[in-house]
Amino acid sequence: MRWTKTLIPTLKEAPAEAEIISHQLLLRAGLVRKLAGGLYTFLPMGLRVLRKIEAIVRQEMDGAGACEVLMPALQPPEIWRQSGRYEQAAQVLFKVRDSSQREWLLGPTHEEVITSLAASEINSYRQMPVTFYQIQTKFRDEIRPRFGLMRAREFLMKDAYSFDISDEAAQASYQKMYDAYVRIFGRCGLKAFPVEADTGVMGGKFSHEFMVPAQTGECEVAYTEDGQYAANLEKAASRGPLTPAPALAEQPLEQFPTPGVRTIEDLAAAPYHTPGHLQIKTLVYLAEGKPVLLLLRGDDSLNEAKAAAALGTGVFRPATAEEIASLMGAHPGSLGAVGFDKARVLADEQLRGASGMTTGANVDGFHFRHVCVSRDIPAAVWKDLRTVREGEESLHGPPLKIRRAIEVGHVFKLGTKYSEAMSATFLGVDAQRRPLVMGCYGMGITRTLQAIIESSHDQNGIIWPIAVAPYAVCLTPLSASAESEVMQVSERLYAQLGAAGVEVIMDDRDERPGVKFKDSELVGFPLRIAVGEKSLNQGMVEFCPRGGTKELVPVDAIIGRTLEFLRA
RNA sequence: CGGGCCGUAGCGCAGACUGGUAGCGCGUCUGAAUGGGGUUCAGAAGGUCGCGGGUUCAAAUCCCGCCGGCCCGACCA
């Protein structure tokens, strides 16, 4: 490819809309352009990278025994009603109507479609195990598209779905995909690591997310340095807070006035001097419309993913101030569960056995002290509700650390959630009809592209791993005039590199060397071969690996040197 | 959906408070010089100042409404 024949609109300055470095570089290097919030056009360089990632994914999926299909992006709402996700996922579903006002959905994912396919086509245990995958544009009505391709409304995703006759067999399919993911991210030059994850709206038994460490990531991961444990913060568990819950001698419950106290901090300050870990925090939520109290230690914070699991539903929200007042008879700041029986009470495990605690008296301006949780709040059901904190002991001992990361893949062991809902069954060896046992395996292709940039760049631009670079080599003649020796040698090298199977782009623009150097580094080609008069006079051209050191190589040795570099 | 900020040339921004002929840098085009790290000089093109209404002799500027964008939060398969 010749630079003048393609479109690489590089930018000196980063557009104001780009907050994080990878988003800025996507735009500055001319990989994509925004059409509207969360909608991007892929320009030639960006598209080539996307295709490279896709090719790696296809190779590894095929290698893992999966077979490719392509499913419609437009889907009938009926199958989403069948699976129960029409309401569950309503917030992210794009809905459209055809000319006769019939409703359709733009698929955010394809469990329903593949399950309905499996329901009709897979009938016997002889047809399994089988795994299908597809690479498709998916749509999500994101509340807030953000960070370029990281959180877009339309994005490219690889999804795979496995079907098995039993849990054990499904586990094997899951493991194959898990292994394939490790290889895919490795080939993309990403240090992605698996973490235990919450299954969320997908449902299912358990799941792993593949995370790329990045300060700008939207996820938080708790892990131990020995590599034995890593989990999404939504899921992470520990042995509990560093300051243990008190187990003081029981004393009679005592109400005392606390005028003006609204927060945990207020009560921790003078004149009360009751630190957060000696307080009980009372949160009022509405789960599927019904009130429920969630109790935590004063210094702990609620983990909503765990709350969803404890409540058995994802449909819940904090109660409003008015709802709280009418239910409790008191306002936030003075709430408590002592003697309360008008709603379910879920208490965090850390409160089990706690005594000598302080909590709101459910009367504005008053609190209770000497609360013994088991004695005074007997209705409480114990659940894990808290978010772990850095430094706490992990379940196997070493302290937890927390870091931010980008989620690039998510694999789920689904079980029979979808197959049961959609009557996808098969006949086993014993002639018994059973639901298919499923797994699903998502990978954000466009997000992976951006994650590579986020984790591989310097102050001059992107540094593409060879495996996904738009072109492996940027051939850079430092003169554009066709008669010059520089250009003639460049043309010859261009032809020879092409013949040797090297993906090469020649910067044939009539630009000054500085401009060409800056652009090739911004776009991030792994290798630049500069042909200039100075070195050519000594029979040399310049071999400049991106981010490495320049060396002079004789003209007739450069093809060999290049092939050697690309193989390494 | 709540809170905050912003919409002026392709991009980045000034002008607004204090109303009075639309500006700067980058980019683009022309010419010249230059020719190994975003070079220099001269010239040019390019703007319904987001949209609608109001106040005023006069609105990019003040007021009201709408639309769009960004940030924080809620949400996130």
Answer whether any strand B atom is within 7 A of the Cβ of A201. Answer: yes
Q: Is the CB of A286 under 7 A from strand B?
A: no
Q: What is the pLDDT of residues A326-352, one digit of tens each?
A: 888 888 888 999 988 888 999 999 898
Q: Any idea which of A285-299, A361-375, A455-469 has the lowest mean pLDDT?
A: A285-299
What does the mean pLDDT of chain A come to?
92
* Averaged pLDDT for residues A375-388: 91
pTM score of the predicted model: 0.92
How many CB atoms within 10 Å of residue A393? 16
Percent of chain A with pLDDT over 70: 99
- Of the ranges A145-159, A349-363, A553-567, which is most confident? A553-567
Q: Among A414, A419, A420, A422, which Cα is nearest to A440's?
A: A414
At A179, is the pLDDT very low, low, confident or very high (cuts 50, 70, 90)?
very high
pLDDT in tens, A276-304: 889 999 988 888 888 899 999 988 888 88
Q: Is the CB of A542 under 7 A from strand B?
A: yes
Asked whether the beta carbons of A304 and A317 are under 8 A apart, the reply is: no
- A58 contact to strand B (CB, 7 A limit): no
Give me the pLDDT at residue A106, please: 92
| The nucleotide closest to A199 (CA, C1' atoms) | B77
pLDDT digits (tens, 9 = 90+) for A480-512: 888 899 999 999 999 999 999 999 999 999 999
What average pLDDT does range A308-334 have in this prediction? 82
Residues 491-530 of A with CB under 7 A from strand B: 510-515, 517-519, 521-522, 530
The share of chain A scoring above pLDDT 90, in percent, equals 66
Mean predicted confidence (pLDDT) in A316-323: 80
- Across A380-389, A419-428, A514-523, least confident range: A380-389
pLDDT at A286: 84
- If one counts every other C-beta atom within 10 angstroms of the C-beta of residue A442, the result is 22
Model pLDDT, residue A52 = 97
Band of pLDDT at residue A306, cut at 50, 70 and 90: confident
Phi, psi of A47 (to 5 degrees): -65, -40
Confidence band, pLDDT 50/70/90 cuts, at residue A156: very high
The yes-or-no verdict on residue A474 having pLDDT over 90 is yes
* pLDDT on residue A201: 66
Give the closest nucleotide to A109 (alpha carbon vs C1').
B77
- The per-residue DSSP string of A215-251 comes to TT-SEEEEE-TTSS-EEETTT---S--SSPPPBPPP-
pLDDT at A7: 93
Q: Give the tokens for residue A204.
A: 């299912």
Pairing of strands A130-139, A154-164: antiparallel
pLDDT band at A9 (very low <50, low <70, confident <90, very high): very high
**Where do we find the tokens 């965090």?**
A348
Does residue A549 approach strand B to less than 7 Å at its CB? no
* 3-state percent breakdown (helix, strand, coil) of chain A, nearest 5: 30, 30, 40
Judged by C1' against the alpha carbon of A202, the nearest nucleotide is: B77
Cα–Cα distance measured from residue A109 to residue A313, given in angstroms and rounded to the nearest whole number: 21
Cα dihedral A438, A439, A445, A446 in deg (nearest 10)? 80
